[in-house]
Each structure stands twice: as C-alpha cells, then as structure tokens.
Amino acid sequence: MSENTEIRKGLNGVVADVSAISKVNSETNSLLYRGYPVPELAATQSFEAVAYLLWNGELPTADQLSEAVAHERSHRALDEQVRTALDALPADCHPMDSLRTAVSVLGAVDPTAQDSSPEAEREKARRLFAQLPAVIAYEQRRRRAGGATEPVAPREDLDYAQNFLWMTFGEEAAPEVVDAFRVSMVLYAEHSFNASTFTARVITSTLSDLHSAVAGAIGALKGPLHGGANEAVMHTFDEIGIRPEESEQEAKERARAWMEDALAQKKKVMGFGHRVYKHGDSRVPTMKEALDALIAHAGRSEILGLYNGLEQAMDEAKGIKPNLDYPAGPIYHLMGFDTEMFTPLFVAARITGWTAHIMEQRADNALIRPLSQYDGPEERAVPST
C-alpha cells in the first residue's frame, strides 16, 4: 500500500457493490424500491406487499399477496422459547438488547438453522418478518408490567399493522393510527447500504447464517447515529418539555429557543442531517403527512409547534434538513409507544430490507474484507523482563 493511498473515513462516498433492491438519488431527492417511488408505495400498498416486493423484485399478484398474508398471519404467535428468554432479562433493559436476544434465540431454534439455500433463507426471512411484532409487542408490555406478563394473542382477522398495534396495546387502533403505522413501516423498510444493512452483508459475506446477520444489524441500528436517532428525537422533545395545554405558537417559540441554544453550544441535534441526502430526506414529506393526520386525530397541536420550531430554527441557522427519524419520533410517541421502543419498531420494518440484502449478498458473494493502513509503532523489540 503506498503512502498516498486514499482513505475514505466512514467509507464516505465509497461504492462497495451493486444492488438491485433500492436506489437512493440524493440529487433528485428520490428513493425507489425495485424501481417504484417509495411515496407512491406508501400511498397505495400494504406493508405485506412491500415486503414481497423487496424480497422478490416485483409487486405480488392478488394470489401471491393472499398467500404471503396467510403465511404472515400463521407465524405471528410469540415463540415460547423467546418468551422464556425475554422473561429472564431485566424489565428495564433496552428493548434493542431484548430484540437482539430474541433473534439469537429464534436462530438457535430455527427448524432449518443449518440450511442456507435460497429457499430456506427466503422462508427464514418470511418467518422473522412475521415473528418480530409479537416480540416487540411483548417487550412493550413487559416493560410496562415491570416483568413477565401475559402476551396479547395475535388476531388473524387483522392485517399486519392492525395486529401489531392490537398485540401491543390490547385494543383495536383507530384507522388514522393504523395508517400512520403502515406508512412508517413502508418508509423504514429499506435504504440501500446504510450501516446496519452493510453490517448484515458483511456477516453474510463470511457465509454465516441469516439470524446472525440480523442480530449484527440490530446492534448497528441501535446506535444514535443510525436508528437510535428516532429515540433521541423524543428525548429532545422531552427536554424541551411536552405541554399538551400549550398553544402551537408557544411550543414553537420554546423549541426555536432550545435549538438556537443547542447550536450555540455546537451540539449535534438528532433527527437532522444525513450522510447521503444533503438537501433533505426524500421520505420525510410522506412521514410528516402521517404525523399531521395523527396530530389532528389526537388534538395535539403543541407537538406540531415543537416540530416546526426545531425544524425552522435548524434550517435558518445551518440549512440542515430533518431525516426520517425526526417525524418518526413523535409519530410513535402519539401512538403510545415508550420512547425506547422506537428503534425496535424500525427493526420490524427494516427486517424486510436487511433480509433482501442478505439474500442478494449470498447470491453473488465475495468476502468483505477491506484493508487498513497501519499507523502504529514501527517494529521494535519486546523489553526483556
């Protein structure tokens, strides 16, 4: 390696492989899943259909969709071994740790654990997609109960989004809430070579198994510079103070003042900025529409004040735009999830994109193993004792 080898910190700008799953175009501010504009998918498709699209490359026919939906509905129950493992964890541990544990257990008990054929991988992906909502719903309930509790049994008459909310809260959610949840799942489903997806591909490139790749991806997603940002957004809202009695304008002014102060202290404000999108995240307008509908449904205009106040103050001071985690934070808050549950919800969505990438990586694999340029001490003798 020559002295002049260019090192791209964080692999910034490095194209690591080809992929047919999604196309991020930062210049035109657009995102396509398998060629389809994501806002159009969010407006017209169920999350089950989008999952099918990501795995198979095409939207399902009516028959294919009903088979996929029936499969998802028949694999929803909380696995007993997972439940036992979760109950052994502290009730207040981070639910991303619980989820990582649950995926490890599901990998260990998977009926085709040793089989990494394309057919077996596809089935593992479909099973995990169907199994994760019960894990996340149970974790939310276990946190609130302060320990082991009764899960809410899934209902086969409900779609993915309706059933997820049902298993979490034990009641049927309003249509506005269900729709915002569905939209959030579609928008979070896939985003090319982000850190967690790349992690999943690195693990797969060693010919390790799908569950190991997903467990590693969960670890990567937990970090606040990646998926953890949606939780951090809510901590910001909490720090500013959520006051339901306040008017939208009052909340907005307090949020603006908070942002000006944070930027004066050179703080990084979570939910803003993006490694790829430098002129705004293409997914934000669709997620913001879902947030607006939820705010109107809940009658919580002070949340809109906080949202707009922070966004405008950041734009005026630095021209930095919100990323998808910014509207996602208040959306999940208004639905009634604990803040710590937000990143697990991201996992429920991204399991589709991760597993699509795992299958794509395995289909044309090369071990991912970059080089480093050594800058430690030159060779020297071990001191004699």
| Residue range at the interface with ligand COA (CB under 6 A); choices 16-24, 103-111, 266-274, 332-340 | 266-274
Tokens describing residue 177: 């809430």
101 or 236: whose CB is closer to ligand COA? 236
**Residues in contact with 20: Cβ distance below 8 Å, sequence separation at least 6, in sequence order:** 34, 57, 360
Please, what is the minimum distance in Å from the beta carbon of residue 277 to ligand COA? 9
11 is a contact residue toward ligand COA (CB under 6 A): no
Residue nearest to ligand COA (CB): 273
SS3 of the chain: the string is CCCCCCCCHHHCCCCCCCCCCEEEECCCCEEEECCEEHHHHHHHCCHHHHHHHHHHCCCCCHHHHHHHHHHHHHCCCCCHHHHHHHHCCCCCCCHHHHHHHHHHHHHHCCCCCCCCCHHHHHHHHHHHHHHHHHHHHHHHHHHHHCCCCCCCCCCCCCCHHHHHHHHHHCCCCCHHHHHHHHHHHHHHCCCCCCHHHHHHHHHHHCCCCHHHHHHHHHHHHHCCCCCCHHHHHHHHHHHHCCCCCCCHHHHHHHHHHHHHHHHHCCCCCCCECCCCCCCCCCCHHHHHHHHHHHHHHHCCHHHHHHHHHHHHHHHHHHCCCECCHHHHHHHHHHHCCCHHHHHHHHHHHHHHHHHHHHHHHHHCCCCCCCCCCCCCCCCCCCCCC
Among 95, 154, 216, 273, which residue interacts with ligand COA (rule: CB under 6 A)?
273
Interface with ligand COA, residue 220, by CB under 6 A: no
Considering the complex, state which of residue 230 and residue 352 has its C-beta at the smaller distance from ligand COA: 230
Residues that contact ligand COA, how many (by CB under 6 A):
14
Q: Is 13 helix (H, G, I), strand (E, B) or coil?
A: coil
Q: Which stretch binds ligand COA (CB under 6 A): 162-170, 304-312, 315-323, 360-368?
A: 315-323
Distance of closest approach, residue 7 Cβ to ligand COA, in angstroms: 15
Residue 121, interface with ligand COA (CB under 6 A)? no
Report the distance separating Cα 310 and Cα 289, nearest Å.
17
Choose which of 66, 268, 285, 296 interacts with ligand COA (CB under 6 A): 268
Choose the stretch contacting ligand COA; rule: CB under 6 A; options: 70-78, 246-254, 268-276, 369-377: 268-276
Asked about 279 being catalytic, the answer comes back as no
- How near is the Cβ of 313 to ligand COA at its closest, in Å? 11
C-alpha to C-alpha distance for 222 and 96, rounded to whole angstroms: 7
- Please, what is the minimum distance in Å from the beta carbon of residue 92 to ligand COA? 25
| The only residue of 100, 201, 254, 274 in contact with ligand COA, by rule CB under 6 A | 274
Residues in region 342-371 near ligand COA by CB under 6 A: none
Least Å distance between CB 233 and ligand COA?
8
Binder of ligand COA out of 152, 221, 269, 287 (CB under 6 A): 269
User: Is residue 274 flagged as an active site residue?
Assistant: yes
* Active-site pick, 211, 281, 325, 333: 325
φ, ψ at 37 (rounded to 5°): -60, 130
Q: How far is the CB of 279 from ligand COA (least distance, A)?
A: 13
Asked if 142 interacts with ligand COA (CB under 6 A), we say no
Q: According to the binding rule CB under 6 A, does residue 225 interact with ligand COA? A: yes
Among 270, 287, 295, 310, which residue sits at the site for ligand COA (rule: CB under 6 A)?
270
89 forms part of the interface with ligand COA (CB under 6 A): no
Q: Which residues bind ligand COA (CB under 6 A)?
A: 225, 229, 268-275, 318, 320, 323, 325
Catalytic residue numbers, as ranges: 274, 325
